[in-house]
Chains A and B, each alone.
Chain A
């Protein structure tokens, strides 16, 4: 099966940005027709290896061979020409175009440059391989990240790539969608495609991949067959020491009679939420448990004043909000949101760590509108220390940080001035194990200091283990309130799927 020569061969590859050496002495053979995983903490260099193979970065030292031929000047275009396609962690689609237009971008059916009609038929053929069930005419801008990712994958398949690099492909997918992706990978492999799979989800890697390369600090620790590996053996190599995957202890849940920070009664929104009733008390961690598309992020947006509430009541600290609630007013009342898409919605990437950390609390470090630079530097240094942000420079260029460290910078923004309600939407997505643990500790710290926390995560294990209470969601509705201390992932999933089945049945019945 993998007896042929390597599809891509890296020999002693090194890469630096300025003073920082991000890859050193990387030697890996990616065997043709195999699924090869790259694992490691964020900042270990996995994505960078992917980008070298995909032509986005050029190696400073060492050699790259593709199907036996050495590569000198490499670009994404040239990589595509040689059959290498990369699916990015930060997706690269044209938002204003449709799914169909994006999938066949640059390879549209045409006669002498005039667009033809064949694309839809080609899309159907592609769909037989991929089985994503996407609407070819939907505009990408209107789609959720998980769906956009599928478009990216279809795009690579449409280009008949012989090597596909997937950078965190499942990070925004639900378990079910991830499973379908893995079936696709199996189909691609059967067609002789080599898949380079960069991921933090060790379960997925163990289930899907043939070989694994473990990286740490820009170096290869080892490359082995996946057979014989366990989650623990991978984690040990990644961290360089034995460590256990554990959940932190939750602070005591606040008493039932304590007044809530936010309360919603029978709320409906223009975004399709119906009959939402929930409350979060100070010091309580409440999880929204549901699959992608169940309306979790929409609840967050409604709480944050980003979407208009059409029915029901919403009160913050006992004060009922009227239709004039907007984001600025919500923030002024102590509601904070750490958004799902940290690069697009969270960080100001043109600026360094210091201004990003201070952004939400400029009032605290200034007098009469003048910023006190000493105070600001001191506070930024404290936050870098508190979260263990790497690199630990006060004016480090956040744009070049790893996902985990970017997330830590984003969290520091709210740690300096404590909000009343902290909404975290996918806080540990695309983040390495070390950063993930730190983020979990942060959630606990915030709750312990009296902040109400609303937690959203596609990883059910994470929401359930970190929450006191939870709301089960499906199709824009909360259908049950649960005690997370008694809930298991299995029961949660079963209840959600049962609910979906029930909803589907009533839908089928109702039109009659």
Chain B
């Protein structure tokens, strides 16, 4: 009798993935799909190659930061200094483009970011202070450095040899989008195919176990912060070259957008689990919401509100999944 009673209820269990699990694992993709469908129905101008490429192009700097930040977060860290590094890289690249050489400037941004990120990592591991505190403090320092470089003023950078990075196109596709896609693929390969990526997962999942397995956990952490800094630097260069203006306050608040995108994508803030594609999806979701609000011409106040609500829902969903286990 109990068999008869239970059979309707137990029927869905035949699927190996329950709807709840699916929503938790791929929720961000579902929401993106819904938005794509909804926005295409509402507006004729949305589903055009031009608009979609435009969204990608605008998101490229944030997406680059979010990709590298994913490694930091999987490694159990937290980086609040990406916005400030973005600022330092912007003004130093701008200054070098004008005073030294535009091509050198393009290289300088990521290198300065790498250096600043490396400093973060060295302080975090050297003193054993939580990355949250260290990067909170260094973000203030770095922002101060950015202001010192320009003396607080803006640097106009109108040089063709420099602005192709942010404005140029190859065929229909923006150079920035190509840079972003390349960076994303490299990060994916690094995370999933290399021993380094494996170590990042281990350090974030169980640092002590990683250490007992002979992994130099501090080096791994320094490397993730260096990569995060480098990405912020690259993003800074793209942004300066795009708007032809280097400003020390550039990238303010970007660190939170990047963190929001990573969390929204479903990478665990606890470390040890996550994926690059998730963060890219998180960035795209935020960009779509943005774009939707522009197309619909709604009060931008609702934009942040909506993004916030979606993040809370996404995180709650992930947490409820975790609890059941």
**Contacts from A to B (Cβ < 8 Å):** 12, 16, 18-19, 61, 304, 327-328, 331-332, 337, 339, 344-351, 355, 358-360, 362-363, 366, 369-371, 373, 399-400, 413
Contacts and interface: CB of A to CB of B under 8 A. Distances in A.
Contacts of A61: 2, 6
Nearest to A397: B325
B198 A370 contact: no
Given A328-B216, A350-B272, A350-B273, A366 B206 contact: no
Contacts of B2: 12, 61
A257 to B, nearest CB: 31
When A and B form their complex, which 9 residue pairs have the shortest distance between CB atoms, in order from nearest?
Answer: A331-B214, A350-B272, A348-B205, A350-B205, A362-B195, A360-B213, A359-B213, A348-B206, A350-B273
Interface centre among A61, A339, A346, A362 (most CB of B within 10 A): A362
B201 to A, nearest CB: 6
A347 B325 contact: no
A346 B212 contact: yes
Given A327-B212, A345-B209, A355-B198, 6 more contacts: A327-B211, A331-B213, A362-B198, A369-B196, A371-B195, A373-B193
21 contacts: A327-B211, A337-B212, A345-B208, A346-B212, A347-B209, A348-B201, A348-B202, A348-B205, A348-B272, A350-B268, A351-B205, A355-B198, A359-B202, A359-B210, A363-B195, A369-B195, A369-B196, A371-B193, A373-B193, A400-B325, A413-B213
A369 B191 CA distance: 11
Interface string B80-101: 0000000000000000000000
Contacts of B204: 350
A61 B9 CA distance: 11
A327 B208 CA distance: 11
Nearest to B214: A331
Given A18-B16, A355-B202, A366 B210 contact: no
B193 A370 contact: yes
Contacts of A328: 211, 214-216
Interface centre among B204, B205, B271 (most CB of A within 10 A): B205
Interface string B279-314: 000000000000000000000000000000000000
Nearest to A326: B211
A33 B16 CA distance: 42
A59 to B, nearest CB: 12
Interface in B78-126: none
Contacts of A345: 206, 208-209, 212
Nearest to A331: B214
Given A347-B206, A400-B325, A371 B216 contact: no
Given A16-B13, A355-B201, A348 B195 contact: no
A349 B202 CA distance: 9
A366 B201 contact: no
B48 interface: no
Contacts of B270: 350
Contacts of B193: 370-371, 373
A358 B201 CA distance: 12
Contacts of A369: 194-196
A475 B19 CA distance: 56
B221 interface: no
A328 B205 CA distance: 18
Contacts of B18: 18
Interface of B: 2, 6, 13, 16, 18, 193-196, 198-199, 201-202, 204-206, 208-216, 268, 270-273, 325
Contacts of A344: 206, 208
A332 B13 CA distance: 48
Nearest to B271: A350
A363 B270 CA distance: 27
A304 to B, nearest CB: 8
Contacts of A337: 212
Contacts of A373: 193
Contacts of B205: 348-351
Contacts of B215: 328, 359
A108 B13 CA distance: 44
A350 B271 CA distance: 9
Nearest to A347: B209
A316 B194 CA distance: 31
A400 B205 CA distance: 15
B208 A359 contact: no
Given A350-B268, A399-B325, A371 B194 contact: yes
A355 B191 CA distance: 13
B205 to A, nearest CB: 4
A19 B12 CA distance: 11
A363 B216 CA distance: 13
Contacts of A413: 213
Contacts of A18: 16, 18
Contacts of A332: 214
Interface centre among B206, B213, B268, B271 (most CB of A within 10 A): B213
Contacts of B273: 350-351
Contacts of B6: 61
A471 B314 CA distance: 56
B94 to A, nearest CB: 35
Contacts of B196: 369
B52 to A, nearest CB: 33
Contacts of A331: 212-214
Contacts of A16: 13
B275 to A, nearest CB: 12
A19 B16 contact: yes
B40 to A, nearest CB: 36
Nearest to A360: B213
Nearest to A343: B206
A409 to B, nearest CB: 11
B209 A346 contact: yes
B7 to A, nearest CB: 11
Contacts of B206: 344-345, 347-350
A179 B275 CA distance: 50
A362 B199 contact: yes
Contacts of B208: 344-345
Interface centre among B16, B194, B196, B214 (most CB of A within 10 A): B214
A400 B325 CA distance: 9
A371 B201 CA distance: 14
A371 B194 CA distance: 5
A413 B206 CA distance: 15
Contacts of B194: 366, 369-371
Nearest to A329: B214
A376 to B, nearest CB: 9
A184 B324 CA distance: 34
A331 B211 CA distance: 9
A328 B211 CA distance: 7
B317 to A, nearest CB: 18
B214 A350 contact: no
Given A61-B6, A369-B196, A400-B325, A348 B16 contact: no
